Structure 1
């Protein structure tokens, strides 16, 4: 009977250890899936950022550094006798708008590439971020979501104002897309401005959606790490209680002696 009692704590300890390993394995699998999903989203953010940056850079070169976002202008007749009209730019948009949008696109592009490579390395090596690094990634992702949303809004609103100016709020017979094929006689290359900003808008808004998903995944990872830390603390506490009960029972059995 004494041998049977002394073997019971060992069996309980083994079953506790197997349950602990099973829970730990499920947690590691969930974490690997989370990291893999983050890698995919970072790769998509990189692709969409590249799609946005290239046409923005081309437009800056075509317009000689002039920013058409929020630009104002009107059509005027060249003289009284000739009915030919010419578009006059009253005020170009602030260069800071185009510079900010381009900077955000490049920063998003570089950051997503670095993070994708870093998480892929973690996934292959079986490593993971600390709780502090996970929380820091959450803050950075939230900041990028805000800045990309702001730059996307700037491009959408600013480009719509430019199109309203050159089409006189839709009263012109030609659309904004068709007017890119017309020489506006601004001493610059305006042959592709509509296509460039249409692609840039798509890239920025798609990048914003990717970064929004990244921020959600970062929050889930912080929550997972918190739950994992809490789970480990509970398992350690339960193990200590089990070992304490086992030691007390062994001491009681030694005092009572064999039955």
Structure 2
């Protein structure tokens, strides 16, 4: 029972951890959209006219950012629910229902796969936007890396260059600390994937250890409460 107790504690702590990583990722992606009038920067592309002016030739799909925010929120509140369920077991407010382990494993696998896809989307989409922003032929020393984008960069300078056919119309962009927000979103998302993997492994180990207790032909009675 000591091993089961340690695994359950590990899962409980990590459920609360992934709640916060998911919330951080969702909030930072959302804030980056607010700074850009609701537009998504993931997979967006820009074209520079000169060393100070550029315009957007492609805007990121709002569905991509919406998927990321929605998925992270759903996953983090599912984690919060299970974390509170585990806490209720520790304080003996509820008995542990071992038959929930298998459904939990299935849901955790689904969360892990979807969040892995989301993390890849965040990383690849942001990398593509940064590559476009820093690869202009006329950049000079204005922008050499996404991390060094000046805080006073004029994100609306495209009105003075390019053709109407090439430009993607958008609202007024404030820019803000887009690099910090999206870097935080990526980091939180990838840490979340790692922690979900650990949770999944812990659940599988507990399920394997519980097989004799859940077997109706076994002489081992199911244990309702966890003793550490």
**Change over 3 Å in CA distance of 1:184–1:168 after alignment to 2:** same
Aligned residue number for residue 73 of structure 1: 46
Q: Which runs of 4+ in 1 moved over 6 A?
A: none
Residue 183 of structure 1 and its aligned partner are, at CA, apart by 2.0
Residue 46 of structure 1 and its aligned partner are, at CA, apart by 1.3
Aligned residue number for residue 114 of structure 1: 81
- Structure 2: distance between partners of 1:179 and 1:98: 22
Among 175, 196, 200, the alignment partner of 1:190 is 175
Any idea what SS the aligned residue of 1:74 has?
Answer: strand
Q: Is the 8 A contact 1:167 1:176 kept in 2?
A: yes
**Change over 3 Å in CA distance of 1:164–1:223 after alignment to 2:** same
Aligned residue number for residue 164 of structure 2: none
- Structure 2: distance between partners of 1:75 and 1:171: 7
**Change over 3 Å in CA distance of 1:63–1:235 after alignment to 2:** closer
Alignment of 1:129 with 2:97, yes or no, is: yes
**Change over 3 Å in CA distance of 1:169–1:138 after alignment to 2:** farther
Alignment of 1:179 with 2:168, yes or no, is: no
Q: TM-score, normalised on structure 2?
A: 0.81
Any idea what SS the aligned residue of 1:183 has?
Answer: coil
Residue 169 of structure 1 and its aligned partner are, at CA, apart by 7.1
Aligned residue number for residue 70 of structure 2: 103
Q: Is the 8 A contact 1:180 1:192 kept in 2?
A: no
Q: TM-score, normalised on structure 1?
A: 0.72
Residue 29 of structure 1 and its aligned partner are, at CA, apart by 3.1
The size of the alignment, in residue pairs, is: 202
Residue 234 of structure 1 and its aligned partner are, at CA, apart by 4.9
Q: Is the 8 A contact 1:50 1:109 kept in 2?
A: yes
**Which of structures 1 and 2 has the larger relative contact order (alpha carbons within 8 angstroms, sep 6+)?**
2
Any idea what SS the aligned residue of 2:91 has?
Answer: helix
Aligned residue number for residue 207 of structure 1: 192
- Structure 2: distance between partners of 1:214 and 1:141: 8
**What aligned pairs does 1:28-107 form with structure 2 within 5 A after superposition?**
28-77=1-50, 85-107=52-74
Residue 230 of structure 1 and its aligned partner are, at CA, apart by 5.2
- Structure 1: distance between partners of 2:196 and 2:136: 34
User: 5+ unaligned residues in a row in structure 2: which ranges?
Assistant: 158-171, 222-228
- Structure 2: distance between partners of 1:47 and 1:221: 24
Aligned residue number for residue 156 of structure 1: 123
- Structure 2: distance between partners of 1:167 and 1:218: 44
**Change over 3 Å in CA distance of 1:66–1:225 after alignment to 2:** same
Any idea what SS the aligned residue of 2:57 has?
Answer: strand
- Structure 2: distance between partners of 1:170 and 1:226: 63
User: 5+ unaligned residues in a row in structure 1: which ranges?
Assistant: 1-27, 78-83, 237-259
Larger radius of gyration: 1
